[in-house]
Amino acid sequence: MERRKRPLAARIGLTVVALFTGWHIFASFLWISPPSELRTVVPGNLLSEYMLPWYGQSWSVFAPAPINGDYLFKVRAHIEKDGEFEMTEWVDATAAELSLARYNVFPPRAAGLASQLASNFKGAHAALNDEQKEIVKLGYYKGDDWLGRMQFSLDEAAEEDSPVATYIAQERYASAYAAQVARAVWGDSVVTVQFQVSRQNVIPFAQRHDPDAERPAEQIVETGWRGMLELQNQSQEAFARTFNDALRRSGQ
């Protein structure tokens, strides 16, 4: 009995599905496995852009070192009213964004921006020496070159192999995000912003049955006031619409 050939469209469809499945398995293998030179076979940022945010995985959810803490990102601002400056209360950007993921089977990417940013920033800050951390506590907001002046000061206090460039990159992202949050909440009257990054560990596993157990204190990164910073291709209108909706959901 002669075997019927599948239609051309079906064969093309099966080929596409097979190629995509093969790519997904290969990309997942590269992402999950320990970082190595093998990742360089995928050019540029293609691997991370494909895997995040939907397919990101990490062995840190398992023993012996599971995720055991929450990262927080808070923002406040100085706003100008009738020629006078007023300081706002803190807004918890992390809580606002996480409200978008609560009871949501398909949470948006915006649900995890603040916590991921806080994690990256705290890691970069931890690598600075004590003198550099004191510099970070200072206010940098005058003029358009405030970030460059901060980098110059950090470089002057640097030791051998000091990761200033890594920190400045995270400072840039954090300050731009804080400016977006501030403008979304308080409008164009914002003059300067300040963000607070912290981590709070969960109750230790050994104390899980202790009714009086309390979570450890927050580990707060102290930073000073910053100037308004905007990155290329930011959409303040779209961000404000999404963030303010999340803020209402969180009850702030």
Q: Are residues 170 and 123 in the same domain?
A: yes
Q: Are residues 150 and 228 in the same domain?
A: yes
Q: Is a pLDDT exceeding 80 seen at residue 227?
A: yes
Q: Are residues 48 and 89 in the same domain?
A: no
**Helix residue spans in the chain (DSSP H):** 8-32, 46-51, 93-98, 113-126, 130-136, 146-156, 164-186, 236-250
Q: Are residues 155 and 204 in the same domain?
A: yes
Confidence label for 186 from pLDDT (cuts 50, 70 and 90): very high
Average pLDDT of 226-242? Answer: 90
Average pLDDT of 153-171? Answer: 90
| Number of domains forming the structure of the chain | 2
Query: Does residue 2 fall inside a structural domain?
Result: no
Average pLDDT of 88-115? Answer: 88
More confident residue, 1 or 203: 203
What is the pLDDT at residue 41?
85
Q: Is a pLDDT exceeding 60 seen at residue 226?
A: yes
Instruction: Report which of 181, 164, 201 is spatially closest to residue 73, judged by C-alpha positions.
Output: 181
What is the pLDDT at residue 69?
83
Q: Are residues 82 and 143 in the same domain?
A: yes
What is the pLDDT at residue 208?
83
Query: Does residue 3 fall inside a structural domain?
Result: no
Q: Could you tell me the pTM of the whole model?
A: 0.75
Q: Are residues 245 and 140 in the same domain?
A: yes
Average pLDDT of 233-246? Answer: 89
Confidence label for 31 from pLDDT (cuts 50, 70 and 90): confident
Confidence label for 42 from pLDDT (cuts 50, 70 and 90): confident
**How many whole angstroms separate alpha carbon 59 and alpha carbon 18?**
27
What residue numbers bound the domain in which 15 lies?
8-57
Average pLDDT, the chain: 88
Average pLDDT of 29-39? Answer: 82
Q: Are residues 212 and 176 in the same domain?
A: yes
- Amino acid identity, position 212: D
**How many whole angstroms separate alpha carbon 241 and alpha carbon 237?**
6
Query: Does residue 1 fall inside a structural domain?
Result: no
**How many whole angstroms separate alpha carbon 174 and alpha carbon 232?**
14
What is the pLDDT at residue 149?
96
pLDDT tens, position by position, 58-81 = 666 565 566 778 899 999 999 998
